[in-house]
Amino acid sequence: MIIVTGAAGFIGSVMVAKLNQEGHEDLLLVDDFSNPEKNKNLKNKTFKEKVDREVFFDWLDKNHADIDFIIHIGARTDTAEFDVAVFDKLNLNYTKQIWRKCAEYEIPLIYASSAATYGMGEFGYSDSHDIVEKLIPLNPYGESKNDFDKWALRQEDAPPFWAGFKFFNVYGPNEFHKGRMASVIFHAFHQINKTGKMNLFKSHQPEFEDGKQLRDFVYVKDVVDILYFFMENPNNSGLYNLGTGTARSFLDLTTSTFVAMGKEPDIEFIDTPIDIRDKYQYFTEADMKKVKENGYKKPFTTLEKGVEDYVKNYLMPNNYL
């Protein structure tokens, strides 16, 4: 049996779909299943059982002998939440408990870290273990992810295999429930539908033109392909970046959204709000060397192809994956 936590969420539900696609139906799904909007992500998925996250550890103690792998994606991901206690409970301590159980019961583990650990990129975007202690995340969410990464690297008792993936800017189907935390493409689609145009932040740094701020946007289907590859090839434990390795501009992303919607681009530039201006990232790009050195050879979906698939097959018809 394979366990997926955060299974009703964005990436978790797409992971469940990937496992089903690969023939895995003996799945245990873990989440807070009280949100009916999130639960729509599980429509047409095949699994054996659902367990609430609050009672999951009791379940695991009784059934650990049946578990082949845990993919822990569940987390509080709100970068605008500043209650550290929330992140301590749901991100840091919950993940420590999963780690300890996996070490005790010898269950391999994949878990979600985040590119938010890199802060402003002062030390670059290498997934080398050498820089983890130096990183300065910009918010409590990023701190909770980096605090766990630091803790994991110090542990002598570990799962037989473990990998923590630093997700960059993930977009794609099954994020209808995420509200303001949904991807830029999701918000662009709805803004264009409503107003016929898209607002982007002006650049307040002379080396970047307006709209030419760069991010590593990665399609969620590529994300779960990599997670599945590492589940099938559990060779080298450690931290890994999960982006495309190619930064693209917000202008590229927005233009691709207009094109996928069959509309002429109409883009206006507005001032970046003062309260976020000093923490606004102008560049992120995953160093993907370690993932490739571990044998993952599949090419990444281009931004244009990913946006086209997302807009035409999911956003426009209001479909779930």
Q: Where are the beta strands (DSSP E) in the chain?
A: 2-5, 27-31, 49-52, 69-72, 109-114, 162-167, 169-171, 198-201, 214-215, 217-219, 238-242, 248-249, 267-270
Q: Which residue has tokens 């090839």?
A: 233
Known active-site residue 101:
no
Token representation of residue 79 = 């970068």
C-alpha angle 173-10-135 in degrees, rounded to nearest 5: 120
- Decide: 167 and 237 in contact? Cβ < 8 Å: no
Token representation of residue 289 = 């060397």
CA 163, CA 127: separation in Å to the nearest integer?
12
Q: What is the 3-state secondary structure (H, E, C) of 101-114?
A: HHHHHCCCEEEEEE
- Decide: 125 and 244 in contact? Cβ < 8 Å: no
* From 40, 50, 150, 178, active-site residue: 178
* From 94, 111, 141, 219, active-site residue: 141
Residues comprising the chain, all counted: 321
DSSP-based three-state secondary structure for 298: coil
- Decide: 38 and 177 in contact? Cβ < 8 Å: yes
- Decide: 321 and 173 in contact? Cβ < 8 Å: yes
Nearest residue to 125 (alpha-carbon basis) of 278, 292, 276, 246:
246
Q: In angstroms, how far apart are the furthest CA atoms of the chain?
A: 59
Known active-site residue 320:
no
Residues marked active site are found at 141, 178
